[in-house]
Amino acid sequence: MSGNDAGGKDTGGKARLDVQLSCPAPVGTRDRVVLGHGGGGLMTNRLIEDVFLGAFDNPWLGTRHDGAVVPLGTARLAISTDSYVVSPMFFPGGDIGKLALCGTVNDVAMCGARPLYVSAGFILEEGTPIEALRRVVSSMQAVAREVGVQVVTGDTKVVERGRGDQIYINTTGVGLVEAGRQVAPNRVREGDVVLLSGDVGRHGIAVMSAREGVAFETTIESDCAPLASMVQGLFDAGVDVRCLRDCTRGGVASALVEIAEVARVEVEIRDDAWVVEAEVLGACELFGLDPLFIANEGCLVAFVAPEDVAKALAVMRADPAGRHAREVGRVMKAERAEVRLRSSLGTSRVIELLSGEQLPRIC
Ligand code: MG
């Protein structure tokens, strides 16, 4: 919507109102791409269903997981890809390179795989300082070394000045899934316990604060971190991990809703169960954002068998990214595909995916 006419008319001697009105709510559209299509909410899902699923229809894509687990000879290969357009490309706690490596390695790990190899494609804008690119690549290599993956192939393209925003990165990761291991939404069942590995909303708020120049008493740092060793620790400890998802775009809420919808189960979470840092909460209140929908980049939800909860929490809390790990909910029924938020007063409400984009270009 726009109210461009408000400024230009003869107002009969009255003061002219030179204002441009725009509608903050994302407008659903089928003929043009809008920012909301990148938000990881309902509009993204609709775009995927309308354009991509129909074209590439196959059983692996249909699992709607963080990546695909495909057979390769006698092995099972997990493969996942992601593109990164975060603005600004350097933010407290990370940069676009760290984000790209962590995000892709984490998605491979969420498939239950050990990440092994990564490809990296760079789309660079003419005029970008080589030194900035060096810093970004060095961040990628630091994560690769930490996780034990190799960046084995890549691509470089340059677009004219003004046709990009310095550095965009696409990363694809592959890993091996151990024989017999199944980690996917369709393994979630009634009685499973939902664990959350970290505090909520830190990445999205860190990037937004850097972009908008909003300062808080303490600098909010992104939680961007690799999660592969935490996931491997769960398997090594013998935890029956039914499903994993990193709570990136769309936050914890979207991760849970997506799993509940694919698994066709009702998930109940308690509204006092998770940790939000005071500065993150303050920023959310200031901007009218719900932390449960804000992106994290070093935090996962794990659906585990009820008898393995203590074991799983011990593994998570031993990891630097998992010190806030806790039980946040449970799978109640295997009939209603929804997520319910139960308050300490006993009331409950259904959590739904957001329509469009709360914070564009945070990953
Ligand atoms: Mg993911």
In this structure, of 26-35, 72-81, 237-246, 274-283, the range with the lowest mean pLDDT score is 26-35
Distance from the alpha carbon of residue 103 to the mean position of ligand 1, in angstroms: 7
pLDDT in tens, 171-224: 999 999 999 999 999 999 999 999 999 999 999 999 999 998 887 777 899 999
Distance CA 262, CA 61 (A): 12
In this prediction, residues 17-36 reach a mean pLDDT of 63
Distance from the alpha carbon of residue 227 to the mean position of ligand 1, in angstroms: 11
pLDDT of residue 1: 35
pLDDT in tens, 306-331: 999 999 999 999 999 999 999 999 99
For residue 61, name the pLDDT band (cuts at 50, 70, 90).
confident
Which residues have C-beta under 5 Å from ligand 1, the single-atom ion? 66, 107, 246
Distance from the alpha carbon of residue 249 to the mean position of ligand 1, in angstroms: 8
pLDDT of residue 8: 38
Instruction: Identify whether the C-beta of residue 252 lies closer than 8 Å to the C-beta of residue 296.
Output: yes
Domain ranges for the chain, please list them: 35-177, 185-351
pLDDT of residue 28: 54
For residue 53, name the pLDDT band (cuts at 50, 70, 90).
confident
Higher local confidence (pLDDT), 345 or 317: 317
Q: What's the sign of the alpha-carbon dihedral 181, 184, 190, 193?
A: positive
Distance from the alpha carbon of residue 337 to the mean position of ligand 1, in angstroms: 20
Which residues does 199 contact at the CB level (< 8 Å), separation at least 6? 223, 274, 275, 276, 277, 280, 299, 324
Distance from the alpha carbon of residue 66 to the mean position of ligand 1, in angstroms: 5
Q: How does the average pLDDT of the chain come out, rounded? A: 90
Amino acid in the structure at residue 219? T
In this prediction, residues 159-168 reach a mean pLDDT of 97
Distance from the alpha carbon of residue 17 to the mean position of ligand 1, in angstroms: 46
Structure tokens at 221: 């740092």
pTM to 2 decimal places? 0.89
Distance from the alpha carbon of residue 310 to the mean position of ligand 1, in angstroms: 25
In the 3-class helix/strand/coil scheme, how is 39-85 assigned residue by residue? CCCHHHHHHHHHHHHHHHCCCCHHHCCCCEEEEECCEEEEEEEEEEC
Distance from the alpha carbon of residue 332 to the mean position of ligand 1, in angstroms: 24
Q: Which CATH superfamily is domain 185-351 in?
A: PurM-like C-terminal domain (3.90.650.10)
Distance from the alpha carbon of residue 109 to the mean position of ligand 1, in angstroms: 9
Q: Which CATH superfamily is domain 35-177 in?
A: PurM-like, N-terminal domain (3.30.1330.10)
pLDDT score of 16 more than 60: no
Distance CA 159, CA 321 (A): 37
pLDDT score of 7 more than 70: no
Query: Measured in whole angstroms, how far is the alpha carbon of residue 360 from the centre of its chain?
Result: 12
pLDDT score of 334 more than 80: no
Query: Measured in whole angstroms, how far is the alpha carbon of residue 167 from the centre of its chain?
Result: 20
In this structure, of 21-30, 122-131, 171-180, the range with the lowest mean pLDDT score is 21-30
pLDDT score of 12 more than 60: no
